[in-house]
Amino acid sequence: MIENEGIVIKSIDYGDSNKIITLFTISGLKSLNVRGAQKPSSHTFNFAKEFILLKYEDRGKYLIGGKVENYYTNIINNIDLTKSALRIFELINALVEHINNNEIAYEFLKQCLDLINNNADHKLIELIFRIKFLYLIGLAPNFNSCVNCGSKEELAYFSLFDGGMKCNNCKNIMDYHLTKEELDLFRILYLVKLDKLIENIDQIKYNYDDLNKVLNMFYSHFLGFESNVEKIYKKINN
Ligand SMILES: [Zn+2]
């Protein structure tokens, strides 16, 4: 019986013919040695592809049975969709030890990949993932009141150092200015459940570059995380 399930987020050659795959599962990351997976003629070849949803059976460090549940074909055939998926994968890969509930994180990842693969706005799904992932790793920015004085009025500045919003009176020269629209959007994307967001996805107005910038700063400041995917894609585009 093949009962385990995971998403292959990394696959590397091992020796002359095997591959080591890294799966994200409801129990976190799992590495497995897939015999013969480098050979296209091998029945295990497909099990070691990145970006697949795999049902598997394992014994020790080895994969002994598998069935591909989803190849996410649209994602792998479109460079922009791939980028969004890669940005999601690299977060999981880098920050997996911070995740406080792998089961929720896994279901959330699957939901997001399905949406991207089924032509939902991939940039928005990526942003939603990156914002909600903050919650899954226990970083909860305070968007509702000034982190300094508790005021709920005139919140227009985001303080990376204090991990939340600041009001007009308490703002510091280092704090990042958010427009009212940006703040509202952050709140919505952070707080509203994914299903509800999807129902109203056409009404969500956003600017990818602005949100991307704030999120990059946040991840970099609190977790020392910098996106390699972004760097690589910038090089490709230049
Ligand atoms: Zn204040």
pLDDT for 27 beyond 90:
yes
Identify whether residues 152 and 50 lie together within a single domain: no
**Whole-model pTM?**
0.90
CATH of the domain at 184: 1.20.1440.120
CATH of the domain at 53: 2.40.50.140
Give residue 23's domain range.
4-71
Q: What angle (nearest 5°) sits at the alpha carbon of residue 69, between those of residues 83 and 8?
A: 45
Q: How many Å lie between the centroid of ligand 1 and the Cα of residue 128?
A: 27
Which sign does the torsion angle of CA 15, 18, 21, 27 carry?
A: negative
pLDDT at 202: 87
Q: In this predicted model, what pLDDT tens digit does every residue of 171-218 receive, in sequence order?
A: 988 888 888 888 888 889 988 899 999 899 889 999 999 899 889 988
Identify whether residues 153 and 222 lie together within a single domain: yes
pLDDT at 176: 83
Q: How many Å lie between the centroid of ligand 1 and the Cα of residue 143?
A: 12
Q: How many Å lie between the centroid of ligand 1 and the Cα of residue 157?
A: 10
Q: In this predicted model, what pLDDT tens digit does every residue of 116-139 receive, in sequence order?
A: 999 999 999 999 999 999 999 988
> Are residues 151 and 145 in contact, defined by beta-carbon separation less than 8 angstroms?
yes
Counting the structural domains of the chain, the total is 2
Question: 10 Å Cβ neighbour count for 179?
Answer: 11
Identify whether residues 184 and 201 lie together within a single domain: yes
Identify whether residues 92 and 66 lie together within a single domain: no
Q: In this predicted model, what pLDDT tens digit does every residue of 81-110 receive, in sequence order?
A: 999 999 999 999 999 999 999 999 999 999
Confidence of residue 77 (pLDDT cuts 50, 70, 90): very high
Q: What angle (nearest 5°) sits at the alpha carbon of residue 132, between those of residues 124 and 236?
A: 45
Identify whether residues 62 and 105 lie together within a single domain: no
pLDDT at 80: 95
Q: How many Å lie between the centroid of ligand 1 and the Cα of residue 191?
A: 22
